[in-house]
Amino acid sequence: MSLLSVNGLSVKFRQRHQDLVALHDVSFSLDRGERIAIVGESGAGKSVLGYALVNLLMKPGFIDAGSVQFDGRELTKLSPKQWQGIRGKKIAMIFQDPMVTLNPVLTIGAQMIEAIRSHTRIAYKDARKLAIEKLAHVRISAPSQRFDQYPHELSGGMRQRVIIAIALLLNPEIIIADEPTTALDVTIQAEILQLLKQICADNGVALILITHDFGVVSRIAERTFVMYAGRIVEQGPTLEIINDPQHPYTQGLLNALPQMALPGQRLNQIKGNMPPLNDQPSGCAFHPRCPYAEERCRQNPPGFVYSGVSTVACYVVEDMLSEFSQHDGDDSYE
């Protein structure tokens, strides 16, 4: 049985006239110790998904339908008190911008100790020892000195290490990292990613990495989920998706990586913008930007098909597959 399984998760934002749908029927699962990535542009609903998993959606967001099962427990029905026992202890989070994630008026130590002592009965002295140990674990120099410092006395990369150390304090089952390197210096990014990957591997922690950067994904995640306009449009093993993307959106994203452009040429981009929540296109949400869009794409959203590489929601891929199977007499539908 998988550690986390999400089924038909829908998130809406309450509005005066009509609720806006931020997540449509999202399903995926995560095994113990597995590392997955959720990729998409800004506004695809990646972060909303991350917050929905730990029930930290900002008002007026709410989970409209679906289930989130963690270790056999249904999370969407937990009371605030029960949630307190899950957050930090079972599922830890790493946020995007380490400059604004730590509380500026509390010391690093205070913010670590409270995380420990909210979940376990342990003497201050022992909690302090554990905290300093974890700071050393994420390779922070002079950890016992850092313990008494305030966040502003540390650099961005250092702070993100502190946040990773806090995430590790209680040996969680899952770490959700929401764009953990986006706000950091490029030189620091690789270090932090390497640290995150290694720490998850060493401790058998499952990782959900939320990012817009395929370059980051390839280094960390075993499986990748590509999101567009609140839906998963393609999912499969990371390497296969990168080598042979099926969905036109995934192709566009990969094509937009700077290393895909020739020197002296404009970088490739996907035409147009992610549709706003209050103006979602009919049918396949990607059709206004899709080079292969047809009439039926405007009518009804496509279902998932297994392409042999990944699972994709696209009519064009579907057609190619059925042509292929007619020739071969082989049925590729999942």
Smallest distance from other proteins to CB 61, Å: 12
Q: Of 52-60, 133-141, 200-208, 276-284, which part binds other proteins (CB under 8 A)? A: 52-60
CB 26 within 8 A of CB 232: yes
Binding-residue pattern over the window 110 to 139 for other proteins, x denoting contact by CB under 8 A: ----xx--xx--------------------
Query: Whole-angstrom distance between the N-terminal and C-terminal Cα of the chain?
Result: 20
Binding-residue pattern over the window 53 to 82 for other proteins, x denoting contact by CB under 8 A: -x-x-x---------------------x--
**What is the rounded distance in angstroms from the CA atom of residue 71 to the CA atom of residue 21?**
28
Q: Which is nearer to other proteins, 73 or 296 (CB)?
A: 73
Q: Which is nearer to other proteins, 163 or 200 (CB)?
A: 163
Q: Of 3-11, 100-108, 281-289, 297-305, which part binds other proteins (CB under 8 A)? A: 100-108
Q: Does 102 bind other proteins (CB under 8 A)?
A: yes
**What is the rounded distance in angstroms from the CA atom of residue 71 to the CA atom of residue 90?**
10
Q: Which is nearer to other proteins, 98 or 248 (CB)?
A: 98
Q: Does 160 bind other proteins (CB under 8 A)?
A: no
CB 235 within 8 A of CB 224: yes
Binding-residue pattern over the window 194 to 233 for other proteins, x denoting contact by CB under 8 A: ----------------------------------------
**71: left (phi > 0), else alpha (psi -120 to 50), else beta?**
left
**What is the rounded distance in angstroms from the CA atom of residue 143 to the CA atom of residue 129?**
10
Binding site for other proteins (CB under 8 A): 54, 56, 58, 80, 83-89, 92-93, 95-97, 100-107, 114-115, 118-119, 150, 152, 163, 166
